[in-house]
A and B are shown apart, each in its own frame.
Chain A
Amino acid sequence: MNIRFKKGLFRDRWFTVGFFLAVFFAALTLFGPALSPFDPWDMSFEPISPPTADHILGVNDGGQDIFSELLYAIRNTVVFGLISGLVALGLGVLIGIVAGWSGGLIDIILMRISDVFLAVPVIMVLILIAALFRPAPLFLALILAGFMWPTISKTIRAQTLSTREAPHIRAAQQMGGSSWYIIHRHLMPEIFPLYLIGFAAKCRMAVFMEASLAFLGLFDPSRKSLGMMISYAIKYYYLDIWWNWLLPPIACLSLLIMTVTFLAISLEKVLDPRLKDTLKESTA
């Protein structure tokens, strides 16, 4: 399962498209500041001017270069999504494995807790905290992660339960392998594909949340973000700026969410053991 899945993934067209888009956005995230021609907080240019050779996408109402803004905004959104997704993944895997491996009372308690977290509408908690305390984006990303882990931990737990009974795990136990040894040597690599599925799905949710929160004006206004660029640009729709100011952040946001969606859908299709036989090639 572990070695063969790479080949299977690239046979899926969605994965290939998603992968190359992801590489593109990763490059923009890494080299964004180096690529941007101006400082995105520099307000010294002619406000609301159309694109020129210097300013590829023109200048916004605050006299800031839109292209540089866009590069920083993509960077912020991607970083938010990755951090949130990674922390949610870490929590989900840890709790899922502990619950599935130990079973009994610990399992019941952990699963009830995740039911509670699953039910809380996380956007509302985020809005409340963001409005009251105006915390740093990193803090909001962590809170979001703190509410996103239950779906991951449930799938990981289910898979742990069935893998625990497998012959090779039994054999390892018979030979006196400790729980920790078996978990990190056998169990964790074996359910690795499930991490990827959970991670892609959570990143998608986090990017979507970040854009929406920024659009609603809940982040620090000086922090560049795709959602915030859209919400500023839409105020000037009557000025015929839609193609150089409104469209770029919309297109980037859609492409970004498409990237994670494609990856999430195709990973689930190719790697989820429960869907294996039913959803193979024909979905391409």
Chain B
Amino acid sequence: MIDSINHCTPRWLGMAVAFGLAALIMIYLSYSLPRLLPGDFVISMYSSSQVTLTSEQETELRDYYMEDPGFFKYALRLAHLDWGYSYAFLMPVSALFFSALPWTLLLLGTAHILSMFIGFVSGVEVAWRRDSWLEKGMVSTMTILEGVPEISTGVVLLVLFALHLEWFPASGATTAYAELSFWTKLIDIGYHLALPLLTLILAYFPGNFLLARNSMVMVIKKPYIMTAKAKGLPDRRIRYAHAARNALLPLVTRFGLRLAFIITGALVVERIFSYPGLGTLLFNAIKARDLPLIQSVVLVSSLMVLAIILCLEIIYRIIDPRVVYEH
């Protein structure tokens, strides 16, 4: 027991150090890259944006950016939510960020939980019925779906269900200017959420399904499943209490690897459905070349992503008491 603790503590620390370093790299990049821009910082940052600055604003900005605060002070400012001022939206960057964040969390959170759940359960069930027509059909369909990117699904769903059939709204997260009671408002939000959510689920679910199925197929062959069968346990109990618990692990570990696809997809889907989350904010910032806004959204959302993966690493250690860590 003591031996195993000695064994796993440095690993855990190693992960935390890796994530801390990654966070530092992101903060340092967002601190140093804008300073590498050629010429006057304020001119290069704002000349190509779609706003004209008054001379007063310009000196103010120059004061803000020209004094090199040093990396430490920059990080401190970041922690105080002092992220600069967006001149395209005429608002503090932090206010814009926090008004967009809930929508992204709602969309991504729901999409993840649902696709994880559906993918896992269907993967387990299909693996149990090995070599049936159901398994072959499902695996083929999911392999094909895995090859369809969010851009394509999103645009097809938008054109079909929002523009031709007009079943769902084509943009936004709520009906603008509508005075609604609490419950109708919830329904309205769900109604607007449907298409982007479906796009994301169609994008995430095949990967989860294939992973769950593959690891379940391997788990089923283990001798302890045979033992459980020999004891005469009911099928469902073997499937979920014995086998699926171990098949769940790769789903959590591979999350980090799929992450690059996940964030990119979320940005694209929000843009397609003009969903007012961070992706659309970032897109508008790019279009207006509002560099302070781009810089902060990129930095803060990457820090949040890092925190989420670190949490998952910890959860992984909880659901897998064996703490086998292979490289």
Interface residues of chain A, those whose CB is within 8 Å of chain B, are 14, 111-112, 115-125, 127-129, 131-133, 151, 154, 157-158, 205, 208-209, 211-212, 215-218, 227, 230, 234, 237-238, 242, 246, 250-251, 253-254, 257-262, 265, 275, 278-279, 282-284
Interface positions, chain B 176-230, Cβ under 8 Å from A, are 210, 214, 217-218, 221
Task: Contact check, B155 vs A234: say whether CB atoms are below 8 A apart.
Answer: yes
Once the chains are docked, how many angstroms separate the CA of A209 from the CA of B291?
A: 21
Which residues of chain B come closer than 8 Å to A262, judged between CB atoms? 143, 147
Cross-chain contact of A246 among B159, B264, B289, B291 (Cβ < 8 A):
B159
- In the assembled complex, 13 residue pairs joining A and B whose CB atoms fall closer than 8 Å, in A order, are A14-B143, A116-B25, A118-B256, A122-B260, A128-B29, A131-B294, A132-B294, A151-B257, A230-B155, A251-B152, A254-B148, A265-B146, A282-B135
B96 at the interface (CB under 8 A from A): no
Given contacts A115-B14, A209-B264, A279-B217, contact A120 B22 (CB under 8 A): yes
B75 at the interface (CB under 8 A from A): no
For the side of the interface on B, what is the size category? 35 or more
**0/1 interface trace, chain B 21-36, chain A, CB 8 Å (1 if under):** 1100110011001101
- Closest residue of chain A to B272 (Cβ to Cβ) is A234
Cross-chain contact of A119 among B135, B136, B298, B309 (Cβ < 8 A):
B309
A218 to chain B, nearest CB (A): 6
Task: Contact check, B263 vs A124: say whether CB atoms are below 8 A apart.
Answer: yes
- Closest residue of chain A to B207 (Cβ to Cβ) is A261
Task: Contact check, B283 vs A158: say whether CB atoms are below 8 A apart.
Answer: no
- Closest residue of chain A to B37 (Cβ to Cβ) is A132
Given contacts A119-B22, A217-B283, contact A250 B155 (CB under 8 A): yes
Where chain A touches its partner, the secondary structure class is helix
Which residues of chain B come closer than 8 Å to A253, judged between CB atoms? 149, 151-152
Task: Contact check, B264 vs A123: say whether CB atoms are below 8 A apart.
Answer: yes
A220 to chain B, nearest CB (A): 13
Interface positions, chain B 246-267, Cβ under 8 Å from A, are 256-257, 259-261, 263-265, 267
Interface positions, chain B 92-141, Cβ under 8 Å from A, are 130-131, 135-136, 139
B5 at the interface (CB under 8 A from A): no
B8 at the interface (CB under 8 A from A): no
Once the chains are docked, how many angstroms separate the CA of A265 from the CA of B206?
A: 13
- Closest residue of chain A to B218 (Cβ to Cβ) is A278
- Closest residue of chain B to A127 (Cβ to Cβ) is B298
Once the chains are docked, how many angstroms separate the CA of A251 from the CA of B289?
A: 31
Which residues of chain A come closer than 8 Å to B302, judged between CB atoms? 120-121, 124
Cross-chain contact of B267 among A212, A261, A284 (Cβ < 8 A):
A212
Once the chains are docked, how many angstroms separate the CA of A70 from the CA of B125?
A: 42
Cross-chain contact of B301 among A14, A124, A212, A230 (Cβ < 8 A):
A124
Which residues of chain A come closer than 8 Å to B53, judged between CB atoms? none
Task: Contact check, B15 vs A158: say whether CB atoms are below 8 A apart.
Answer: no
Which residues of chain B come closer than 8 Å to A211, judged between CB atoms? 149, 151
Given contacts A115-B14, A238-B163, contact A258 B283 (CB under 8 A): no
B80 at the interface (CB under 8 A from A): no
Cross-chain contact of A216 among B210, B217, B267 (Cβ < 8 A):
B267
10 more A-B residue pairs beyond the given contacts A209-B264, A215-B268, A258-B148, with a C-beta to C-beta distance below 8 A: A112-B17, A115-B14, A117-B22, A121-B263, A132-B291, A212-B149, A259-B147, A261-B146, A262-B143, A278-B217
Task: Contact check, A121 vs B305: say whether CB atoms are below 8 A apart.
Answer: yes
**0/1 interface trace, chain B 294-305, chain A, CB 8 Å (1 if under):** 110011011001
